[in-house]
Amino acid sequence: MATVYRSVGGRKLAKMLALEDGVQAELTARTFEIAVRAEEILVQHRAEGHSRIEVEEGRVDRYVVLSDERGQKAALSIEYGRQEYTVTRTSRQGGEFEVTVPAMDGLYVLATAAHLPKKRKGKVKLD
């Protein structure tokens, strides 16, 4: 009968395997492929060019990130869409007026690039 150890040399087995050179090389390659597909999808929909795809590298994992830090900080809305909402703005003359921001379907850039199912996140009520 075989014995299965949870740790080897004080390290959890899963982490030890994840840090193997071959596993890390495969993570890097797959992350690059997903990032390239995501960039291709994003370029098709880019209006002002503020959003971009970034790759972050952790100690073990790699992350493909949709960043909109240079734009309206709307990465979540770009990925999952948004409901229509109304905001109050102030004019240059000091008067207030309401602006209705229309609903938008999500582009699912990251989900599509990673071949994941497209799931709309729970509805968020904006006050």
**Predicted structure pTM score:** 0.76
Rounded Cα gap, residues 4 and 66, in angstroms: 39
pLDDT at 120: 64
User: Nearest-CA neighbor of 39 among 64, 58, 62, 71?
Assistant: 64
Provide the mean pLDDT of the chain.
88
Rounded Cα gap, residues 53 and 36, in angstroms: 9
Rounded Cα gap, residues 61 and 121, in angstroms: 24
Kindly report, residue by residue over 71-90, the tens digit of the pLDDT. Answer: 788 899 899 999 999 999 99
State the pLDDT confidence band at 10, using cuts at 50, 70 and 90. confident
Q: Which residues contact 118 (CB under 8 A, 6 or more apart)?
A: 106, 108, 111, 112
